[in-house]
């Protein structure tokens, strides 16, 4: 940041502090105000001359803040009167405490929680204090701060859901989800152990251990129909949410790339599970690449899709599915 930009930023910060300070006291000596703000009397006079040109939109005399600069300058115009009295009027709107709309407050809460997840202990302590004050103020003003749903209503609902789910993850409490799968046009119910809310490609996801699938899952927030935070503690070990900066999975020696052929009836898999790549295979079929950390999970998935799915690679995974299917058939013979 250039020296000029830094100076302007500091000046705006001083002005935003100065006006409520003056309005609370009515009048104050120039040297006293300069000492309180930690600047020289000369600098404060320059700030006040800038404030003189500020106000609400319109630019008419009644719209601008009125500063009695003449009371600070000697009659001969030489220097300044450090014992002069600062008088500011027509600035009541700047003296009022900051009020946030529900959308603004929710956006700040979500941003602070995202910052908290990667912050150090010292920063996290500061963020926690800010979160506590902001969430308490938002809760107290919930009834008074109602707004009519508009174009940002969906964004507000999503932000509120993200805040609630991240709160459940922070408190290590289970969540019951109703989740919608567009390709199947159906809704599933499951209990999950939340790990945190993460973002990827413009979408927010809940990273959680799913007890129905017995595996980690990512749930797109805009497909969560309902989410109830339960009093029950999570049943799995607490874990940080995945970093999706490099994709939905991180390749390592414990992860296998599997290719599965899906018939049209099983195309919904690409909407429900994170996939590495999708290729059209003709006749409405898809070839899908998935990163698999547990072969048993892939076997259960494919067996549940029979006869509309088949493992193409690796051969060991394909053979494992065939063996599991044969074992199941043997139970009926």
Q: What is the pLDDT of residues 123-181, one digit of tens each?
A: 666 777 777 777 666 655 543 333 333 334 445 567 778 888 988 999 999 999 998 86
Residue 260 confidence (pLDDT): 94
Cβ–Cβ contacts within 10 Å for residue 332, how many?
A: 5
Give backbone dihedrals phi and psi of 292, rounded to 5 degrees, phi first: -115, 125
φ, ψ at 218 (rounded to 5°): -110, 125
Q: Which residues of the chain have pLDDT under 50?
A: 1-2, 4-5, 95, 142-154, 183, 251-253
Is the Cα torsion angle 299, 301, 306, 309 positive or negative in sign?
A: negative
Question: What is the C-alpha separation between 184 and 180, in angstroms, rounded?
Answer: 9
pLDDT one-digit tens code per residue, 298-330: 888 898 888 999 999 999 999 999 998 888 877
Q: Note whether 237 and 218 are within 8 A (CB).
A: no
Give the per-residue pLDDT at 116. Answer: 65
Q: How many CB atoms lie within 10 A of CB 142?
A: 11
Domain boundaries, the chain: 3-95, 103-233, 256-330
Q: Which of 216, 123, 229 is nearest to 170 (CA)?
A: 229
Rounded-to-integer distance, Cα 175 and Cα 46, Å? 56
Query: Looking at residue 147, what is its pLDDT?
Result: 31
Closest CA to 211 of 170, 176, 179, 171: 176
Q: What is the pLDDT of residue 77?
A: 53
% pLDDT > 70, the chain: 61
DSSP alpha helices (H): ranges in the chain? 3-25, 30-37, 41-51, 92-95, 102-117, 121-140, 153-170, 269-272, 295-305, 315-330
* Res 229: pLDDT: 92
Report pLDDT for 45: 78
Rounded-to-10 torsion of CA 220, 222, 223, 224: 90
């Amino acid at each position: 940041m250039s020296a000029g930009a830094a100076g302007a930023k500091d000046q705006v910060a001083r002005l935003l502090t100065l006006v409520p300070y003056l309005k609370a006291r009515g009048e104050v000596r120039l040297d006293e105000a300069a000492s309180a703000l930690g600047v020289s009397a000369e600098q404060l006079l320059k700030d006040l001359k800038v404030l003189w040109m500020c106000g609400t939109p319109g630019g008419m005399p009644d719209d601008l803040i009125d500063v009695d600069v003449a009371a600070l300058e000697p009659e001969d115009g030489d220097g300044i009167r450090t014992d002069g009295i600062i008088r500011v009027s027509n600035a009541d709107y700047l003296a009022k405490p900051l009020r946030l709309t529900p959308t603004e407050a929710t956006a700040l809460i979500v941003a602070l929680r995202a910052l908290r997840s990667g912050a150090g202990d010292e920063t996290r302590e500061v963020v926690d204090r800010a979160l506590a004050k902001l969430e308490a103020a938002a809760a107290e003003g919930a009834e008074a701060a109602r707004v009519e749903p508009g174009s940002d209503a969906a964004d507000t609902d999503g932000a509120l859901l993200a805040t609630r789910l991240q709160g459940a993850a922070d408190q290590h409490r289970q969540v019951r989800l109703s989740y919608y799968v567009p390709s199947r046009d159906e809704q599933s119910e499951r209990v999950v152990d939340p790990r945190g809310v993460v973002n990827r490609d413009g979408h927010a996801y809940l990273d959680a251990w799913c007890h129905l699938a017995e595996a980690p899952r990512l749930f797109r927030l805009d497909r969560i129909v309902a989410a109830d935070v339960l009093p029950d503690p999570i049943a799995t070990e607490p874990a940080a949410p995945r970093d999706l900066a490099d994709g939905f999975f991180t390749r390592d020696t414990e992860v296998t790339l599997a290719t599965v052929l899906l018939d049209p009836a099983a195309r919904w898999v690409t909407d429900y599970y994170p996939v590495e790549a999708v290729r059209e295979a003709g006749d409405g079929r898809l070839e899908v690449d998935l990163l698999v950390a547990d072969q048993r999970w892939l076997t259960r998935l494919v067996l549940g899709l029979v006869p509309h799915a088949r493992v193409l690679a690796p051969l060991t995974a394909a053979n494992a599915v065939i063996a599991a299917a044969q074992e199941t058939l043997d139970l009926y013979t």
